[in-house]
A and B are shown apart, each in its own frame.
Chain A
Amino acid sequence: MALIEFADFSFKYLGADSLALKRIKLTIDNGEYVVITGPSGCGKTTFCRAINALVPQFHRGYVAGNVYTDGKNTREYEVATFASVAGLVFQNPENQLVTLDVEKEIAFGPENLGVAPSEIRRRVEELIELLDLEELREKHPHEMSGGEQQRVAIAATLALKPKVLVADEPTSNLDPQSAEAILEIIAHLNKRGMAVVLVEHRLDLVAKDASRIILMDKGRIVADGDPREVLAMDLCEEIGVGVPKATQVYKRLKTRGIELGNVPLTGVELAELVQEATSR
């Protein structure tokens, strides 16, 4: 059984003119690192919301087809059912921190689900260590930077022990340095075995870690596959995806008749390929 399965799923928000998602068909398995990208308004956020039933349970609208998360139909179970399966991290960290200090924030989710206090305490300590939050332990959200807030938001989501972390542009409100730190944490979580669905524009930073890239445009999936294959397509430039610099260089060289063999995703890879080609 796939962890997440979209079966011909379409959705239109109440009062909207067009479909936000059009006949999405795909499966995501345990351990995958899926990066979703595409121009704004292409349906990425709706896609994330559909995974834990926020669409169609919290945001109402026209629905066709089904989404099965951990085998459960999101049309039939309420959002909270999926709290311990799919953990969502949103764009604005400020709106995800609802209590007055870090410990309470991490405890909020498990408390809601009625987890035993000793177990909650254990998870809080574990996550404070994992995400390096010791110094923030007793800070008010207002006293933290955006990057710190987002780290706490991730910890609060992980406290529910989800099988998949769904992060919807978690770095878009952050400065480049904090953004990089957050993406490193996400990559690290994936290496520890957690499936990740990440919406991100800065492919320069994430393409190397992803196991799969999905390109969306106007509510449809237009490409889905290995990062190197997807980013090598001309389609990326057509719909305006931020292809990594190294991959761009590869493509320019290719149009001039210089074949590097493999598609590079980072500067280091590109340098190696060039070195190889010149020494040949």
Chain B
Amino acid sequence: MSFLEVFQYTRQDSVMHRLDPRSKLVLSIVCATVSMMFMEIIPLLMVFTCLLPLIAAAKSLGRWAKSMKGLGALLVFVLVFNTLLSPMEYPFSYSLSLAIRLVALMTSFSLFFLTVQPDQLSQALIQMRVKFEFAFAMSMAMRYVPTLGQEAYAIMDAQRARGVELDKGNIVKRIRNIIPIIVPLIIVSIRRALSIAESMESRGFGVSENRTYMEMLRFRKRDWALVLSSLLILILVIYVRFFVGLPGWMMWNLPF
């Protein structure tokens, strides 16, 4: 699952990281929409080549390349199956564009998730008038994922030590093996939740109607510039795609 890394926040100091999460959300959605609008190889490659410098601006090319390598098997799968099963005139060209589109879509969204810290995301939601409690619940879920993971491993070890054979047997048996892991995990988590609640309560969680925030996200000039240029590009692409029509050379296909 290493290709999922491209959706994981990495702490960096880059132009992309410093932008407001809201403007990056617009950028990601525009990039994704544009890549969804084409089924031809050349325009998709053009979208893709526009995305690469953005990833570079986030100083994450290395990470991106690694993830794409992890995605390799899936891409080959897409290529082979679509080529074999597609009813299209040029099945290979069609599957190739599907594969490029998949990469472009993933890259578009990774622009957002690579550069937005979960806390920032919840702050953005709060400033978009989502209730603090909901936004905070989301960032807390992120916070406790590794903790729960660790706990699950500890429980697995404890059960193994008592002779539960977790990795043996057929599919049904393996699924049933989850029970001795999941039951203690739920109980431990409920206990943990109570103790977390105690700590949060002691620090005044939810008491004041006028909760303040040490740092508010600020929409700066560069954010406006990014949003406006993204939207402009979107409009331009829609115009060319639907009203003018693509020039002939862009419709080029492989002859098979």
Contacts and interface: CB of A to CB of B under 8 A. Distances in A.
B203 A109 contact: yes
Residue of A80, A116, A121 ringed by the most chain B CB atoms within 10 A: A80
Contacts of A157: 202-203
Nearest to A91: B195
Interface in B97-150: 117-119, 139-140, 142-143, 146-147
B207 A80 contact: yes
Given A90-B195, A92-B195, A112-B206, A54 B214 contact: no
B2 interface: no
A160 to B, nearest CB: 6
Contacts of A120: 212, 214
A47 B145 CA distance: 32
Contact of A138 (B11, B139, B202, B214): B11
Interface in A93-141: 94-101, 103-104, 107-117, 120-121, 124, 138, 140-141
Contacts of A99: 119, 139-140, 143
B214 A100 contact: no
Contacts of B142: 100
Contacts of B207: 78, 80, 83, 112-113
Nearest to B142: A100
Contacts of A78: 207
Interface residues of B, number: 32
B139 A88 contact: no
Tell me whether chain A's interface is mostly helix, strand or loop, or mixed. Answer: helix
A108 B143 contact: no
B198 A100 contact: no
Nearest to B209: A114
B139 A100 contact: yes
A117 B213 contact: yes
Given A80-B207, A99-B143, A111 B214 contact: yes
A88 B211 contact: no
A138 B11 CA distance: 9
Contacts of A213: none
Contacts of B206: 80, 112
Contact of B212 (A117, A153, A156): A117
A78 B213 CA distance: 23
A111 B210 CA distance: 9
Given A80-B204, A117-B215, A98 B210 contact: no
A103 B214 contact: yes
B201 interface: yes
A54 B203 contact: no
B202 A83 contact: yes
Contacts of B200: 98
Contact of B202 (A88, A94, A116, A117): A88
18 contacts: A52-B202, A82-B202, A87-B202, A96-B199, A98-B196, A98-B200, A107-B214, A111-B213, A112-B205, A112-B211, A113-B208, A114-B212, A115-B212, A117-B214, A120-B214, A121-B214, A157-B202, A160-B203
Given A83-B203, A116-B212, A153-B199, 18 more contacts: A49-B198, A54-B202, A58-B197, A58-B198, A79-B202, A87-B202, A95-B195, A96-B196, A98-B199, A99-B139, A99-B143, A100-B139, A100-B143, A104-B214, A111-B211, A112-B205, A121-B214, A157-B203
Interface of B: 11, 117-119, 139-140, 142-143, 146-147, 192, 195-208, 210-216
Sorted nearest first, the 3 A-B pairs with minimum C-beta distance are A80-B207, A109-B203, A112-B204
